[in-house]
Amino acid sequence: MLSLSYGQITIQENQKDTTTTKQINIVYGANFTKDEKNLPGGAIFSKDTRQVQFEHQGADLWCDVAVLYQKENRLEARGNIRLKQGDSITMTSGRMDYNGNKKLAKAFENVVLRSQISESGRTTLRTDTLRFDREKQEAYYQDSGTIIDSANTLTSEIGRYFIKTKKYQFLDSVHIDNPEYILDSKQLDYYSSSKNAYMYGPSTITGKTYKIYFERGFYDTNFETGYGIKNTRIDYNNRIIKGDSVYFNKASEFASATNNITVTDTINNVVTKAHYAEVFKAKDSVFATKRAVTISLVQKDSLYVHGDTLMVTGPPEDRIIRAFKNAKFFKTNMSGKCDSIHSAEKNGLIQLIRKPVVWNGGNQMTGDSIHIISNVKTEQLDSLKVIENAFIVSLDSIGKEGYNQAKGINLYGKFKENELKIIDLVQNTEVVYYMYNDANELIGINKTECSAIRIKMANNDVEDMTFIKAPDGTIFPDKDLAQEERILTGFIWRGDERIFTKDSIFDEDDYNIELVVIKGVNNPIDIDANEEDRDQNPNDPLNNIPVTNDEAQQPKKRPKAKKVGPIKVQ
């Protein structure tokens, strides 16, 4: 048969020097014709009982009709085309042009590229036009394509498939459909073996219980874990989390963030800021440290609470804020500090625990513990309690030398329109008070003991003082009262510690925090090398932890597990 003989001759000629000619070989030519008028230099092959078949450097091609330009070493194939490379790549289409010198295939009309990535898994790419560069082992499209694997359906306007690394690179309007979430991105790299996605440019992942936005990030589409390292935001369980680097894990219902963090409680109008934070959905809690502060909006006036460590826990209607170690708070008309603070949304109670001090105007109040109670309906300050060893001190506002003092076992204060109006001191009370006439001349120093004292305040200063139950005291002329007698037992003036602004709640150490270096935005890690290592060592637990520290710049020097924090960056 002429067609078979022609094929045999071509194969024999090619076998003489296959290393130099690299000619397209005819495996089965079927029906052979020529049409020099319309197809000069072309040999036309068409199927009979079986399709025409060609071979070129490890790839086989089947089709219904083909025109082989042997001198140019190129092929035009038409009808039911199937190109197979090894055991892993199969491409089908309606038309295909193949250049043997460049090893480049251009496929048209319902193109389908199937890639076998493992014994049980494969990906399928569908598009109208696809270029397959066998020299570089890359396939790419520019007119919209769809990729389907066992986990996801991905679409984009422009895409490229890197066969060696099993990576898809998508550009322009990238979209992933998964039963559990939807992902949209401007640019995305997807590894078909690991199902990992790396995003560049504005990206959004919308799950059933969360929404993530970032402009540079990673997402494990199998386990719904990932992180963003540029302009990242997570909407998660009535909270909005923002930070330089934010990590998310759906299975453990956990999120964490590093550097310039803001966690917003959208129900209670509470904002937590820090440089490291963790959010636990199941426990409805936030843990924050490194210059941590919560900001609560109360009657158009913000309450700032700071501690070395902050915890915000509980459902919205019963939210609790805890500040541990070096705790401080600031409000326009009140501030304070202690070892720890406990604030409950449900009953409006703020407890200052261990060595507390509160400043209200020029008044300093101390005791074993201090409770500040707000009206949960009006959100205004309601009352104040100083429990055990209550002591209130203020600098003599006229003389500027002495201190007005009052002490007792307990102190109870009452607020009106957020201003402290009444103070009741009870049990074993004592007073030292500087008294002046209308001309601001010192009349004397009142030193009295009694069972209870009521002090009425105006503009954060003493307006009236009433001694209750058997007062015993004297008004001493200034010259008749020794300096040591003017100080009550337990007196400590802490005016130099007073917090005057919201920024004063932070110490020098809070401003000198060295922020973590977030890798991946300007200095990306070799992701292809990491993914290759993942494929070669699938059981290595570190493969599920993208590297984060400076040493990660060298992909082969992966950090030990104990050095890898919950924030993962690539």
Stronger pLDDT, 114 or 520, i.e. the higher one: 114
The model's confidence at residue 120, banded by pLDDT at 50, 70 and 90, is low
The model's confidence at residue 223, banded by pLDDT at 50, 70 and 90, is confident
DSSP character string of 423-490: EEEEEEEEEEEEEE-TT--EEEEEEEEEEEEEEEEETTEEEEEEEESS-EEEEE-GGGS-GGGGS-TT
189, 197 Cβ separation under 8 angstroms: yes
Average pLDDT score over residue span 270-295:
89
Is the pLDDT reported for residue 564 higher than 80?
Answer: no
Cβ atoms within 10 Å of 539's Cβ, excluding its own: 5
Closest CA to 279 of 260, 296, 262, 302: 262
Q: Which domain holds residue 459?
A: 363-506
The answer to whether residue 295 is domain-embedded is no
Give residue 533's pLDDT. Answer: 60
Token pair, residue 463, equals 């307006």
Cβ atoms within 10 Å of 325's Cβ, excluding its own: 10
The answer to whether residue 354 is domain-embedded is no
Quick: pLDDT tens for 446-490.
999 999 999 998 887 888 889 988 889 899 999 999 999 999 999
- Residue 203 has phi, psi (to 5 degrees) of -140, 145
The model's confidence at residue 498, banded by pLDDT at 50, 70 and 90, is very high
- Comparing 178-182, 254-258, 315-319, the range with the smallest average pLDDT is 315-319
Average pLDDT score over residue span 267-294:
88
Give me the number of domains the chain comprises. Answer: 2
The answer to whether residue 107 is domain-embedded is yes
Quick: pLDDT tens for 386-443.
999 999 999 988 888 899 999 999 999 998 888 889 999 999 999 999 999 989 999 9
CATH number for 452? 2.60.450
The answer to whether residue 388 is domain-embedded is yes
Beta-ladder partners of 369? 353, 387
Q: What percent of the chain has pLDDT over 70?
A: 86
Average pLDDT score over residue span 345-370:
91
Task: Measure the CA–CA gap between 231 and 569, rounded to whole angstroms.
Answer: 14
- Residue 3 has phi, psi (to 5 degrees) of -65, -40
Of 487, 506, 525, the last residue of a domain is: 506
Q: What percent of the chain has pLDDT over 90?
A: 50
Quick: pLDDT tens for 154-177.
899 999 999 888 888 988 889 988
Give residue 547's pLDDT. Answer: 35
The answer to whether residue 157 is domain-embedded is no
Q: Residue 324 carries which side chain, given as an amino acid letter?
A: F
Give residue 146's pLDDT. Answer: 92
CATH number for 133? 2.60.450.10
98, 84 Cβ separation under 8 angstroms: no
3-state class (DSSP) for residue 110: strand
Is the pLDDT reported for residue 552 higher than 50?
Answer: no
Token pair, residue 342, equals 């406990």
Give residue 20's pLDDT. Answer: 47
Average pLDDT score over residue span 72-85:
95
Of 102, 119, 143, the last residue of a domain is: 143
The answer to whether residue 417 is domain-embedded is yes
Average pLDDT score over residue span 362-383:
89
Give residue 537's pLDDT. Answer: 53
Quick: pLDDT tens for 54-71.
999 999 999 999 999 999
Average pLDDT score over residue span 313-335:
88
Of 458, 490, 506, the last residue of a domain is: 506
DSSP character string of 476-530: E-GGGS-GGGGS-TT----GGG---SGGGGS-HHHHT--PPP--SSSS---HHHH
The model's confidence at residue 307, banded by pLDDT at 50, 70 and 90, is very high
Average pLDDT score over residue span 492-501:
92
Give residue 521's pLDDT. Answer: 58
The model's confidence at residue 560, banded by pLDDT at 50, 70 and 90, is very low
Residue found by looking up tokens 């009953």 in the block: 347
The answer to whether residue 525 is domain-embedded is no
Average pLDDT score over residue span 331-359:
91
The model's confidence at residue 193, banded by pLDDT at 50, 70 and 90, is confident
Give residue 27's pLDDT. Answer: 95
The answer to whether residue 446 is domain-embedded is yes
Quick: pLDDT tens for 11-55.
333 444 444 458 999 999 999 999 999 999 999 999 999 999 999
- Residue 464 has phi, psi (to 5 degrees) of -155, 145
The model's confidence at residue 374, banded by pLDDT at 50, 70 and 90, is confident
Beta-ladder partners of 476? 445
Task: Measure the CA–CA gap between 430 and 436, rounded to whole angstroms.
Answer: 19
